[in-house]
Amino acid sequence: MRARETDEADEQERGFDVIDAVDRRILDVLQQDATLPVATIAERVGLSPAPCWRRIKKLEASGVIARRVALVDRRKVNVPTTVFVAVKAPRHAAEWSEAFRRVVEGFPEIVEAWRLTGEIDYLLRIVVPDIETYDAVYQRLIARLEFSNLSASIAMEEMKYTTAVPTIYMV
């Protein structure tokens, strides 16, 4: 067996654990446009299509590429308003946290939910057509669960938005 084949066999045996510069370039390209043909991706990263395709499949199989999705322009589909909601829990208990998780999952308008350290316990990002709709979401939310405090901030301008993660730190 040649050295390269041995390296590939060893890597397959131990699983995907190293992301090299080529993988990072592939991820950068895919994060910009996951619909590109493999031949185009391969050309951009300096590979031939077959090894590029194998690398993409390995990134998918390992979970580095979790899924490929379509990014929808929220303004064009009538949800231009973004509201950030800071949540203070009434108590720090597992049952309240689980109830909160279930409530959040039931609201399609809540597109992100983060548990935080500091003064705020959770941060929600909500997208809606307008403030009246946000108020209806707010009313549904407080009807389902007790909160110590909810504080909303309406986004005035989207200065930067990306779903791409930086690949410069990947090892």
10-52 pLDDT tens trace: 444 445 568 999 999 999 999 999 999 999 999 999 999 999 9
- pLDDT 10s digits, 82-134: 999 999 999 999 999 999 999 999 999 999 999 999 999 999 999 999 999 99
pTM: 0.83
The 3-state DSSP composition of the chain as helix, strand, coil percent (nearest 5) reads 45, 15, 40
Measured distance between the N- and C-terminal CA atoms of the chain, rounded to whole angstroms: 28
Q: At what angle do helices 21-32 and 38-45 cross, to 10 degrees?
A: 130
Domains of the chain are 21-62 (1.10.10.10), 74-155 (3.30.70.920)
